[in-house]
Amino acid sequence: MSGEPARRTSTGRPLRLVAGDDVPQPRPVPDAREAAEAPAPEDELALELPPQRRSVAVGRHWVVRVAAEAGVTGMANQVVELLASELLANAVLHGTQRAPERPIRIEFALEDDRVRVAVSDSVLRRPVVLHPEPIAPAGRGMAIVEAMSDRWGVHESPDGKTVWFEVDLAEY
**Is the pLDDT at 70 greater than 90, yes or no?**
yes
- Tens digit of pLDDT for each residue in 81-130? 999 999 999 999 987 776 778 899 999 999 989 999 999 999 988 998 98
CB 84 within 8 A of CB 106: yes
Decide: residue 121, CB within 10 A, 0-12 exposed, 13-18 middle, 19+ buried: buried
How far the first Cα of the chain sits from its last, in Å, is: 34
Supply the pTM of this predicted model: 0.74
In the chain the domains, ranked by start, together with CATH numbers, are 42-171 (3.30.565.10)
- Tens digit of pLDDT for each residue in 13-50? 555 444 444 444 444 443 333 433 433 334 569 999 99
H runs (alpha helix) in 70-140 = 74-94
> Whole-angstrom Cα distance, residue 139 to residue 146?
13
